[in-house]
Amino acid sequence: MVGSHIGIGPKQVKSGGVITGADIRRVFHDPHGNEIVALNNVNLHICPGEFVSLVGPSGCGKSTLLRLITGLDSPTDGELFLDEEVIKGPHYERGLVFQDPTLFPWLNVYDNVAAGLHARGIYREKKSDVAEYIQLVGLNGFEKSYPHQLSGGMAQRVALARALVNNPKVLLLDEPLGALDAFTRMQMQDEILRIWEERGTTMILVTHDVDEAIYLSDRIVIMTPRPGKIQEIIEVEIGRPRSRNHPDFFRLRSKILETLHFAKENEPLHYYL
Q: What is the pLDDT of residues 214-229, one digit of tens each?
A: 999 999 999 998 889 9
- pLDDT in the model for residue 57: 87
- pLDDT in the model for residue 266: 40
How confident is the model over 251-261, as pLDDT tens digits? 999 999 998 87
Q: Specify the domain boundaries for CATH 3.40.50.300 within the chain.
A: 1-93+169-188+200-273
Question: Helix (H, G, I), strand (E, B), or coil: what is residue 245?
Answer: coil
- What is the DSSP secondary structure assignment for residue 106, as one 8-state letter? T
The amino acid occupying position 208 is H
Kindly tell me if the per-residue pLDDT of 206 is higher than 80.
Answer: yes
Kindly tell me if the per-residue pLDDT of 239 is higher than 50.
Answer: yes
- Mean pLDDT for 32-59 is 92
Kindly tell me if the per-residue pLDDT of 268 is higher than 60.
Answer: no
- pLDDT in the model for residue 14: 53
Mean pLDDT of the chain: 88
How confident is the model over 153-203, as pLDDT tens digits? 999 999 999 999 999 999 999 999 988 999 999 999 999 999 999 999 999
- pLDDT in the model for residue 267: 41
As a 3-state breakdown, the chain gives helix, strand, coil percent values, each rounded to 5, of: 35, 25, 45
Confidence of residue 58 (pLDDT cuts 50, 70, 90): confident
- pLDDT in the model for residue 234: 94
- pLDDT in the model for residue 167: 92
Q: Is domain 1-93+169-188+200-273 given the CATH code 3.40.50.300 in the classification? A: yes
End-to-end CA distance of the chain: 24
Confidence of residue 103 (pLDDT cuts 50, 70, 90): very high
Q: Please give the sequence-ordered ranges of beta strands (E in DSSP) within 88-218, or none if there are none.
A: 94-97, 170-174, 202-206
Confidence (pTM): 0.88
Kindly tell me if the per-residue pLDDT of 7 is higher than 70.
Answer: no
Distance (Å, rounded) from C-alpha 201 to C-alpha 197? 8
Q: C-alpha distances in angstroms, 215 versus 125, 188, 255?
A: 37, 12, 15
Distance (Å, rounded) from C-alpha 203 to C-alpha 51? 5
Q: C-alpha distances in angstroms, 196 versus 137, 169, 199?
A: 12, 11, 5
How confident is the model over 129-155, as pLDDT tens digits? 999 999 999 999 999 999 999 999 999
